[in-house]
Amino acid sequence: MKMHSSMKKFYALIFLAFILHSDLLVAQKDIPHLNKVGDRFELIVKGEPFLMLGGELGNSTASTLESMEPVWSRLKQLNINTILTPVYWELLEPEEGKFDYRLVDELILKARAYDFKLVFLWFGSWKNSMSSHAPGWVKLDQERFPRSKSESGISQEILSAFSDNNLNADLEAYKHLLRHLGEFDKENQTVILMQPENEIGMLPSARDYSDAANKKFSENVPADLINYLQNNKEKLNPETIEIWGANGYKTSGNWEDVFGKGLHTDEIFMAYYFALYTDKICAAGKAEYNLPAYVNAALNAPGRKPGEYPSAGPLPHVLDIWKAASPNIDFYSPDFYNPDFKLWNDLYTRQGNPLFIPEHKFDNSVAAKALFAFGHYEALGFSPFSIEQMPGNPFSPKEEKLSQVYNIIYQIKPLLDKSRGQNKVEGVLLDKDVNEVTFTLGDYEFKAAHTFNLGWEPNSKSEEWEPAGAIVIQTGKNEFYYAGFGVTLTMKNLKKPNERVGILKTDRGNFIDGNWVVYQHLNGDQTHQGRHIRSFVDDVCIQRFTLYEYK
Ligand code: DGJ
């Protein structure tokens, strides 16, 4: 049968489209991306799950290569595999439309040489609320690039989210950056994740009072926000329900009609427009090179009113609003400079938001918290802030501990990858206040206690208890791995309540090239004569243990 030539063309076109499409699919699949496993997410880099054992640089360290020079090897010693580093708008685009990629490229090349991955923090329109990283040509032309105004009409060094000029200037720069990364780095994939903007927030008023903002505030709440709230009503966070419900779940009217009058509505309004602005920037970047992206938040101190803290950032109480307006942002992250680690992480992981902690004050709790984050939340990554600014050789104790903990997490990564999203892994974080927790893995209930409870270590009588942490992974019906420090584990079999659980065998060892290599067979004093699994606070280690029951 002869095919008509127009028919031939038609099939050829379909074939071409298919090839192109599958090419795109392959290309997309090869770019770092998130993958859902069970109820958790993993970050896939070059086809493999990647855990970000991270550290974020101090704000100005990556502004020259000279200042970075001593940093690289030190971070290597810390066993970091991912560096979070700013990319500064003012340095990338010192003159409008003229982009200088030299610093970015050199950072990437150095990172490659040291085998680090990079997360780029785009210090664009906003960095800690302010617009201090905007280039001079933006700062100086306030007619064209308007500022936010406080309630009393005073201009702030905060670019207004209600100006298309502001948005487009930032968006163009971000777009160029991502286009460049697509060209320069797609093959190597040194840059694995983007953070557009940094700790967005409104100060000193809960919302912008510029003319453009006031106009928007008097207009109806955009339909896409209302639709989002209606379509997701079942899963909205209680904070949203409380406000929207208190006002009768209204579906039309201006901001005060729908959410009521007050600072909370000012913050919701602002959150929506911050999210919209950031999302447009993020989308423009992704259209060039589709790297995953997240935004981070400065956590609000309890008891402060909107405007007294950087308001309307991606904070838990306005996260529904953010989600409605930022479909291109893959997840939302907390920065920790205050306590209540578990409380905030619990708030951030609602609705399946994957946990990534881009910043944590570099204190003596980070090693334990890294274990807790990767174990309990199956986090994508963890990253103390100002990781390089700890001069001194040898390491300070907290550097030492973090380095050791990153090492053991790296070793058990294949086990973490395998057990992700299947309730086979748990993490604990213990201190003087919370010195005992219970959790279940398979048939076993574990009691995890801080080893200072035993009173056997030199510091166990001191006022301060160094935080302790561990990851426990179930690898067989009665087989488990412990990775951590300062934790004692005792077990019960929930299926056999009348029997006691004993330790069949405990080994301490390491994964070398992926194989478990025993260093010591632990028993006697090291297991309290078979009563518990344990490593002291100064003993960061991995143990493999099996359990049995006796009557
Ligand atoms: C949080 C910010 O995101 C960081 O860039 C830095 O400013 C720290 N706060 C505080 O040093």
- pLDDT at 497 > cutoff 80: yes
59 C-beta closer than 6 A to ligand 1: yes
Number of H helices, E strands in the chain: 16, 23
pLDDT of residue 4: 57
pLDDT of residue 19: 46
Among 295, 359, 389, name the best residue to mutate to test ligand 1's pocket (greatest count of ligand atoms within 8 A of Cβ): 359
pLDDT of residue 2: 47
Task: Quote the distance between the C-alpha of residue 426 and its chain's center.
Answer: 18
The 3-state DSSP composition of the chain as helix, strand, coil percent (nearest 5) reads 35, 30, 35
338 C-beta closer than 6 A to ligand 1: no
Cβ atoms within 10 A of the Cβ of 108, count?
20
**3-class secondary-structure state, position 254:** strand
Distance from C-alpha of 269 to C-alpha of 213, rounded to nearest angstrom: 10
Average pLDDT value for residue range 51-67: 97
Average pLDDT over the chain reads 95
Give the whole-number percent of the chain exceeding pLDDT 70.
Answer: 94
Residue 398 confidence class, pLDDT cut points 50, 70, 90: confident
Residues 6+ apart with CB under 8 A from 93: 99, 100, 135, 173, 176
pLDDT of residue 13: 55
Atom of ligand 1 nearest to the CA of 298: 1
pLDDT of residue 389: 76
Residue type, 14: I
Distance from C-alpha of 192 to C-alpha of 173, rounded to nearest angstrom: 19
pLDDT of residue 493: 98
Cα-based distances in Å from 432 to 405, 437, 506, 540: 20, 12, 27, 19
- pLDDT at 300 > cutoff 50: yes
Q: At what angle do helices 397-419 and 366-376 cross, to 10 degrees?
A: 10
Cβ atoms within 10 A of the Cβ of 531, count?
11
Atom of ligand 1 nearest to the CA of 198: 3
Distance between Cα 131 and ligand 1 center (Å): 14
Task: Quote the distance between the C-alpha of residue 364 and its chain's center.
Answer: 20
Average pLDDT value for residue range 233-247: 97
93 C-beta closer than 6 A to ligand 1: no
Dihedral sign for Cα 114, 82, 86, 189, please. positive
pLDDT of residue 1: 41
81 C-beta closer than 6 A to ligand 1: no
197 C-beta closer than 6 A to ligand 1: no
Q: What is the pLDDT of residues 140-149, one digit of tens each?
A: 999 999 999 9
- pLDDT at 22 > cutoff 50: no
Dihedral sign for Cα 194, 197, 198, 202, please. negative
pLDDT of residue 302: 86
Distance between Cα 332 and ligand 1 center (Å): 16
Tokens 């990629």 — which residue? 101
Distance from C-alpha of 437 to C-alpha of 31, rounded to nearest angstrom: 40
33-37 vs 541-550, strand pairing mode: unpaired
Q: CA angle at residue 13 from 12 to 18, to 5 degrees?
A: 100
Distance between Cα 64 and ligand 1 center (Å): 19
Average pLDDT value for residue range 217-230: 98
Residue 339 confidence class, pLDDT cut points 50, 70, 90: confident
Distance from C-alpha of 531 to C-alpha of 335, rounded to nearest angstrom: 39
Q: Kindly state the DSSP code that residue 122 receives in the 8-state scheme.
A: E
Phi, psi of 138 (to 5 degrees): -85, -45
Residue 397 confidence class, pLDDT cut points 50, 70, 90: confident
pLDDT of residue 23: 44
The pairs formed by 386-392 with CB atoms below 8 angstroms and a separation of 24 or more are 386/56, 386/57, 386/58, 386/362, 387/55, 387/56, 387/57, 387/75, 387/78, 387/80, 387/83, 387/362, 388/55, 388/57, 388/58, 388/61, 388/71, 388/74, 388/75, 389/58, 389/61, 389/362, 390/362
199 C-beta closer than 6 A to ligand 1: yes
